[in-house]
A and B are shown apart, each in its own frame.
Chain A
Amino acid sequence: MAPNVKNQKIDEGEFLRMREKVLAQWPTGKEVDLDEAIEYQKKLPDSKNYLKIMQKLHEEGRTVAYPRAGTATIEDSISLYRKLEESQVPFLLVTTDSYTRQLEFKKVEAAIEETKKTGKKILNGFPLINHGVKGMRQIVESVNTGAFNPRISLKAYPLGSEIAFASGMTGVSAGPFISWGAYEKNSDIAEAIGAYQYMHRLIGYYADRGVKITCDNHGWILTGVQPMTVNLATTIAEAMMEAEQGVKSVVSCIHLMGNLAQDLAWIRVAPRLMREYLDRYGYADVIIAGTLAQHTPLFPMPQGMGGAFAYTDYSALVGALGKVEACSIRSIDEALGIPTEESHQLTYESVNWFFNVIRGQKIDLEMKEIAIEERIAELEIRAILDKLLEIGDGDIVVGCIKGVHLGIIDSSFSPNKQVKDKVIGVKDCRGAIRYAEFGNLPLPEEVKEFHREKVAERERADGTKADYEMTIRDFWAFNKGQLIGKPVRA
């Protein structure tokens, strides 16, 4: 986990030495026996394998909901995941709680005790590490269908993923950017990548022995209203990092911002470029298992149930029109708190309706706007990736690290102090997202001109500058049932 981290496969001996330290972080680490774990994984049915599920969905032309779920106790978890299974949700997310994420396992223990005594819910997720392989396997074995997939944290991923995979989880949110860029204040990008390499290498170890665990690549989740360019570029960078460590199955995640043409363009362009860059850099044997779309959770959902259903149904619509295999769905309780089982169930009932009705029609949308957005997005993503590879001398890890320092990749509103925070995004008159400030993003002049025109049009329409005020207005728009944040007239 050195700061001089490179995109280079960790040597197996070295990896095994690192493992010892990782497993020693908490007693449940001892439950992990890699050989036994690999056998366990091999015996899992296809219906619990992330990659196989994705491939089947693709063949059948279906879209399913990708939930956000995680609850503190094993009993509640079993009940919750069975409900999800009933709701035909085959991807079973295990969101861990915030103590686990900070390696505060003692606090977790206390909270579990307290909940047992008083019934009061304290933890905001599943304490995977405290429950250990034994606990997690009970959950994996409690359903017939569904690939489990943990959400952990920079600090807790190494041990967490050991326990996860040994428990039969077959997918994982695997990119370093999400933790570093959206959950951390002081962490260093080099350290973050280094920390994630451990998990990637662990997956590589499984892969070398015939077990394919799939990596969701969320990229740098960009906070607030801004184009997903940097996000999509980093999902591809992440796939390249994972591939180098031996990962054989990745997912292209696309974060959506609400303009149909732009969202569909991103859905089309992202997996295509991911394939191209993987192939070009020697990772042609890495499978892109499927695509996962979601309205990036970086603005608040409507609090009212009507608006919440509309927004989440809209996510389902865009996912289905984009023909993605899975669509990450925010429950109707998103703005209110961790959803109840009933809220989960109602949410999937609703989005499944959309998935079925839209996909069944086999709609091929053709709009000239999609083609325009696709071209712009492709130019942008290529410009950024190529620049990163250039400054990294062909090494994507080095490129990303330098890129952060130089603001070649940048985001507004990031909690991480390392981030330049020189870019600003706003919506254009049709609700597509444009840069009002480019910071140091290496975008081609033609592309910048395109953004400038669209932003100028918006400024004229609103009669205000495209600035921080506007980005905040736009940030709240969907929450208020509007496409664009309207200026408040005095």
Chain B
Amino acid sequence: MNANTRVLITRRPLSVEAARRAVARPDCGGICVFAGTVRNRNEGRRVSKIRYSAFESMALRQFRAIAAEARKKFGLRAVYIAHRVGLLKLGEASVVCAAASPHRAEAFAGCRRLIERVKKLAPIWKEEFHGRGKTWVNRA
């Protein structure tokens, strides 16, 4: 565990303000925050709501590894990764990442790295609900 890394998985709404506060440091001039939100359509299909589920302990472990890699790669001073699980309505945030750095280029690049790696690695799954049913997203 590291004071400069905060990761969480929660059933409650996510907050970009909480992310900003978590990574704010007196020596950092730039904070980049990314929020991924539930869209009203995906691959041409209208979505009414979605449900995320996670293998929570493994996902948190992945988040910490992702955070450590990004901190090292971009010299980030602080990193935040939060993912929501349970039922989400349209427009709600499913994921919030944040990175703080003395300089803004690294804050942007680091935050981007966080979300790319979370999407690729974290054991989290998504069910999309349509009018008549639901599908598991990315089900091969």
A binds B: no
User: Interface on A for B, CB 8 Å cutoff?
Assistant: none
